[in-house]
């Protein structure tokens, strides 16, 4: 939405400028992220050639590998080749297998997106319902239980929830396999069985975060003067939350949802590893352990871009809703 | 001594609670390993994933080592690494916060931009990147986590200081003709400690979660050192038997993080 000066009302063009400046900041962050990924993985002490060949390597072998990996070139030249390759869709070859990185990453990316999509589809409606219910019955037993549960969930590591899920569903109840095997999906039931545990774990983490943020947003909106007016008119709290507060809270709530989804990433890394789910985060962890730097760089960049896109979208929704309120 | 009591009375109860809790964990980290009944690496029993007994107070782990001793060492490493990185990032931001008040404006702008950029890299990802290149040594982990949590705390403390500087009592102090150091030390800092401390508590929890996750993935603290996350990782097979070796470390992590978070939450309400 570009601000066309003169042709639109003042609020819109202010919003256009804010959105443009937010996009500019996102562009800057993208450049920063690309440079940082390169600097961390290339400029830190620890030579890839030494690490790959181990301690018994002869100096000649190390030197040959350094030339083969272009490590003898100056850093700025390597950055130029690397960043250029990344942006044109050629992220190089894996140090371990020699396959092009894109061949390794793309199928994994597809799996990860599937997992993230399933999680979002389950957790967003759930979090909305729970968050609104908390705001409606604020201070009641439901609110107190949910608040405690969400606080506990966001403050324990994801692997704790994942291992708990394995213990309950796979070890005790034996209704699902403890490892994901995507290749064996032939029916809806199998699909549910394979995805149940990773999605359940990720959902509980995401829902906890979303409920906390949605509840805070709603309580913020509920402190506005027009809500006080509605209370004085004698409307029920449920009616006030749904009909008066919610329409005005949509912006902040969508913002909260996008932010929580972006924080899904830390959970994805652990969940994919625990359940051996063949996604991109799992690939990244394997590559980090094997010091396969080109794969690590590519995965990191894809994750950062996704994260940046979500946080930027969240901010733009926030800006749009703020300006709509001002116009009204 | 009397000054100390006067100071104690001045500290608000929320701050006192969180300080007490953090000191208790620190004390456990310092003294715990001395109380360990066995050396952490010694195999004391032929039974793996053994139950709680008089010989092994919390059962044995996947190699038949004493879990209680290993847990005490694990608490030391988790608490020490996370507290050091939190303290480091806190010092860095105090230094930066003071430094930017005297440097030209563009320095502060550039710094703010860099911090924003750093915020746009998810923390676990940043840690994985560093581990991929620099390896899993303890100093590298501490430094990495200090850098990861610097931008967030830098922003919080800056916003806090800016809000306090605009308060009437600062204007009043200026009008009284107080010196700049008096205003900073006696007017601004005391009003910042409370929110700052709860921010530090929160960063400490984030650090514990990040380190545990890393160690659980096998990319954090490495053997023979042991932390709470790696304890869970190495004993994960005991899950099938519900062995204390995997249940107890997870409970301790939850106790550490949920405890601090609940204390902070109570202070906020």
Is residue B4 in some structural domain?
no
CB proximity A151 to B under 8 Å: yes
Give the residue ranges of DSSP H helices in A44-171: 48-53, 59-68, 75-87, 101-136, 141-154, 158-165
When comparing pLDDT for A266 and B253, which is higher? B253
Chain centroid to CA B29: how far?
12
The total domain count for chain B is 1
DSSP collapsed to 3 states, chain B: CHHHHHHHHHCCHHHHHHHHHHHHHHHHHHHHHHHCCCCCCCECCCCCCCCCCCCCCCCECCCCEEHHHHHHHHHHHHHHHHHHHHHHHHHHHHHHHHHHHHCCHHHHHHHHHHHHHHHCCCHHHHHHHHHHHHCCCHHHHHHHHHHHCHHHHHHHHHHHHHHHHCCHHHHHHHHHCCCHHHHHHHHHHHHHHHHHHHHHHHHHHHHHHHHHHHHHCCCCCCCCCCCHHHHHHHCHHHHHHCCHHHHHHHHHHHHHHHHHHHHHHHHHC
Within an 8 Å CB–CB cutoff, is residue B132 touching chain A?
yes
Question: Which residues 60-89 of chain A have a CB within 8 Å of chain B?
Answer: none
pLDDT at A248: 78
Higher pLDDT, B241 or B212: B212
User: Over 70: is that where the pLDDT of A185 sits?
Assistant: no
For chain A, say whether B117 makes contact (Cβ under 8 Å).
Answer: yes
User: Residue A19 above 60 pLDDT?
Assistant: yes
Tell if the CB–CB gap between B135 and A33 is shorter than 8 Å: no
pLDDT of residue B82: 92
Q: What residues of A are in contact with residue B251 (Cβ under 8 Å)?
A: none
Does the pLDDT at position A186 exceed 60?
yes
| Confidence class for position A181, pLDDT limits 50, 70, 90 | low
* Cβ contacts of B212 on chain A, cutoff 8 Å: 157, 159
The residue among A293 and A67 whose pLDDT is bigger is: A293
What six digits make up the tokens of B239? 């899950």
B137-169 residue pLDDT tens: 888 889 888 888 888 777 777 777 777 777 788
Residue B5 lies in a domain: no
Give residues 189 to 208 of B whose Cβ lies within 8 Å of A.
205
| pLDDT tens for each residue of A106-162 | 888 888 888 888 888 899 999 988 888 888 888 888 888 988 888 888 888 888 888
- Chain A CB contacts of B252 under 8 Å are none
- In this prediction, residues A42-62 reach a mean pLDDT of 67
Region label for B242, one of left (φ > 0), alpha (ψ between -120 and 50) or beta (otherwise): left
Residue B6 lies in a domain: no
- Interval B22-37 mean pLDDT: 85
> Which residue from B116, B217, B262 is facing A151, i.e. has the nearest CB?
B262
Number of A–B residue contacts, CB under 8 Å: 132
Mean pLDDT, chain A, integer: 79
Testing the interface with A: which of B78, B119, B128 to mutate, by most A Cβ within 10 A? B128
A116 touches chain B (CB under 8 A): no
Residue A328 confidence (pLDDT) above 60: no
Cβ distance of B121 and A33 shorter than 8 Å:
yes
* CA–CA min distance B26, chain A (Å): 19
A163 and chain B: CB distance < 8 Å anywhere? yes
pTM value?
Answer: 0.82
CA-to-CA dists, residue A164 to A132, A167, B231, angstroms = 28, 5, 16
Q: What is the pLDDT of residue B110?
A: 84
Option in B120, B132, B250 nearest A41 (CB): B132
Residue B177 falls within a domain, yes or no? Answer: yes
In a domain, B3, yes or no: no
Highest mean pLDDT pick, A164-173, A176-185, B68-77? B68-77
What residue numbers bound the domain in which B71 lies? 12-268
ipTM of this complex prediction, to 2 decimal places: 0.78
Confidence category of residue A53, pLDDT binned at 50, 70, 90: low
**A61-70, A277-286, B241-250: which has the highest mean pLDDT?**
A277-286
- pLDDT for B268 equals 53
The percent of residues in chain A predicted with pLDDT above 90, rounded, is: 1
Chain A contact for B84 (CB, 8 A cutoff)? no
Residue B135's CB is within 10 A of a number of other CB atoms, namely 16
Q: What is the mean pLDDT of residues A73-85?
A: 79
Give percent of chain B above pLDDT 90: 4
Taking residue B78's Cβ as centre, other Cβ atoms within 10 Å add up to: 29
pLDDT tens-digit map of B103-145: 778 887 888 888 878 888 888 888 888 888 777 788 888 988 8
User: Which pLDDT score, from 0 to 100, does residue B85 have?
Assistant: 92
Output the pLDDT for position A8. 45
Q: What is the mean pLDDT of residues B240-247?
A: 77
pLDDT of residue A195 exceeding 70: yes
Average pLDDT over residues B20-30: 88
pLDDT of residue B84: 92
- Among B104, B244, B82, residue whose Cα is nearest residue B148: B82
Q: What is the pLDDT of residue A61?
A: 75
Q: Are A263 and A202 in contact (CB under 8 A)?
A: no
pLDDT at residue B81, as a whole number: 92
Q: Would residue B2 count as lying in a domain?
A: no
Please determine, for residue B36, whether its predicted confidence score (pLDDT) is greater than 80: no
CATH number at residue B118: 1.10.3720.10
Interface contact flag, B129 A285, Cβ < 8 Å: no
Tokens of A77: 């030249």
Which of chain A's residues have a Cβ under 8 Å away from the Cβ of B253? 156-157, 160
Name the more confident of A11 and B157.
B157
Q: Is residue B7 part of a domain?
A: no
Average pLDDT over residues A169-193: 66
Q: What is chain A's alpha carbon radius of gyration, rounded to the nearest angstrom?
A: 24
Q: Which tokens sit at B158?
A: 């800056």
pLDDT at A315 over 70: yes
Of A28, A155, A269, which is closest to B205 when you measure between CB atoms?
Answer: A155
Percent with pLDDT over 70 in chain A: 82
Report which secondary-structure segment, H or E, holds A207. Answer: helix A188-222
């Amino acid at each position: 939405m570009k601000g066309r000066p003169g042709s639109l009302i003042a609020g819109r063009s202010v919003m256009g400028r804010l959105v443009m400046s937010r996009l500019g900041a996102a562009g800057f962050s993208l450049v920063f992220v690309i440079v940082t990924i390169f600097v961390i993985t290339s400029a830190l002490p620890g030579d890839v050639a030494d690490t790959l060949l181990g301690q018994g390597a002869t100096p000649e072998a190390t030197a040959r590998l350094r030339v083969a990996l272009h490590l003898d070139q100056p850093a700025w030249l390597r950055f130029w080749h690397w960043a250029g390759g990344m942006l044109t869709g050629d992220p190089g070859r894996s140090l371990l297998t020699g396959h092009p990185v894109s061949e390794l990453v793309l199928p994994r990316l597809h799996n990860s997106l599937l997992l993230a999509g399933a999680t979002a589809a389950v957790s967003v409606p759930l979090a909305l319902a729970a968050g609104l219910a908390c705001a409606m019955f604020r201070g009641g037993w439901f609110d107190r239980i949910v608040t405690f549960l969400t606080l506990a969930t966001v403050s324990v590591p994801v692997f704790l929830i994942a291992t708990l899920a394995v213990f309950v569903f796979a070890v005790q109840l034996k209704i699902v396999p403890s490892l994901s095997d995507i290749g064996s999906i032939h029916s809806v039931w199998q699909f549910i069985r394979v995805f149940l545990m990773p999605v359940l774990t990720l959902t509980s983490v995401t829902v906890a975060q979303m409920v906390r943020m949605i509840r805070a947003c709603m309580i913020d909106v509920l402190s506005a003067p027009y809500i006080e007016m509605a209370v004085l008119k004698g409307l029920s709290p449920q009616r006030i939350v749904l009909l008066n507060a919610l329409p005005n809270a949509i912006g902040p709530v969508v913002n909260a949802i996008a932010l929580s989804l972006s924080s899904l990433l830390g959970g994805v890394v652990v969940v994919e590893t625990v359940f051996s789910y063949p996604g991109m985060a799992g690939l990244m962890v394997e590559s980090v352990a094997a010091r396969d730097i080109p794969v690590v760089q590519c995965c990191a960049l894809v994750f950062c871009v996704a994260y940046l896109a979500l946080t930027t979208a969240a901010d733009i929704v926030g800006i749009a809703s703020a300006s709509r309120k001002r116009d009204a | 001594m009397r000054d100390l009591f006067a100071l104690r009375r001045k500290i608000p109860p929320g701050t006192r609670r969180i300080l007490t809790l953090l000191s208790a964990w620190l004390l456990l980290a310092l003294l715990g390993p001395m109380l360990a009944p066995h050396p952490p690496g010694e195999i004391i029993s032929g039974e793996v994933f053994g139950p709680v007994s008089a010989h092994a107070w919390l059962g044995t782990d996947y190699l038949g080592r004493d879990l209680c001793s290993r847990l005490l060492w694990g608490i030391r490493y988790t608490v020490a690494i996370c507290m050091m990185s939190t303290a480091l990032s806190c010092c860095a931001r105090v230094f930066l916060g003071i430094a930017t008040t005297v440097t030209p404006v563009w320095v502060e702008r550039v710094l703010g931009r860099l911090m924003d950029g750093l915020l746009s890299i998810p923390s676990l990802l940043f840690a994985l990147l560093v581990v991929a290149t620099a390896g899993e040594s303890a100093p590298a982990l501490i430094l990495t986590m200090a850098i990861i949590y610097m931008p967030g705390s830098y922003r919080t403390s800056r916003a806090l200081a800016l809000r306090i500087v605009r308060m009437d009592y600062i204007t009043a102090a200026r009008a009284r003709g107080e010196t700049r150091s008096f205003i900073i030390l006696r007017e601004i800092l005391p009003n910042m400690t409370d929110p700052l401390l709860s921010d530090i508590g929160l960063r400490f929890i984030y650090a514990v979660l990040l380190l545990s996750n890393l160690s659980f993935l096998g990319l954090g603290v490495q053997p023979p050192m042991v932390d709470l996350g790696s304890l869970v990782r190495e004993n994960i097979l005991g899950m099938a038997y519900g062995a204390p070796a995997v249940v107890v470390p997870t409970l301790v992590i939850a106790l550490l993080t949920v405890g601090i978070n609940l204390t902070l939450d109570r202070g906020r309400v």
